[in-house]
Structure 1
C-alpha cells in the first residue's frame, strides 16, 4: 500500500545569506524589499498612533463632559434640597432631635376598678 499521497512534506527555509543561489532565494527576501517594508511600516505605525491618540482624546473629552453635567446636576439638587430644608427649619416645622416618652397611667388612680 502506497501512502505517498498522504504524506505532509514540510520544508524549513532559513535565510542566512548563504546556502542559497541567486535563483533559489525565497520570494521577497531581498534587502531592498525588506528596507522598503520597514520604511512603509514606520509611517503607518505613526499614523495609527496619532489616530489612536486623537480618538482617545475625543472619548476622554466626552467622558469629562458627561461627568461634569452629572456633577453639576447633583450639586444643583443638593443645593435645592438644603435651601428647602433651611426654609422649613425657619418656620419651626422640623424637629431635628426628639425624645419619645411613654406615659403610663395607673387605672386605679383615676377611680376605675
Structure 2
C-alpha cells in the first residue's frame, strides 16, 4: 500500500486539474456556487444547498459528481486505498479552499463561509 502522502499529492493534482481543465463546467459550477445553489459536501462530492434547484443545476451536479467518482476511483486504485479515503481527503482540501460566501457542508448542515 502506498503512503498517505502519495494520495495527498494525487488529490492536490486532481484539485488543480479540476479547477483548470474543465472551463465550461467550471464556469457553470462557479456560478451556481456563487448563487448559493450548490456547495461542497464532506464526502467529496457536490450537494444541492437548495433541493428545489432547477433541473439544469441538478444535472450539472450529477455530471460533476460522476466525473469526481471516476477520478477518485482511479486515484484509489493506483494507490491501493479505499475510494472513500480519496474522496474524504479531497473534501478536506476543497472545503478548506472554498471562497467566502459559498456553502460547505458541516456536521450540523450547510454553512456559508
Measured against the shorter chain, the TM-score band is: under 0.3
More helix by share: 2
Larger Rg computed on CA atoms: 1
The answer to which structure, 1 or 2, has the higher relative contact order (CA under 8 A, 6+ apart) is 2
More strand by share: 2
Output the TM-score relative to the length of structure 1.
Answer: 0.25
Output the TM-score relative to the length of structure 2.
Answer: 0.25
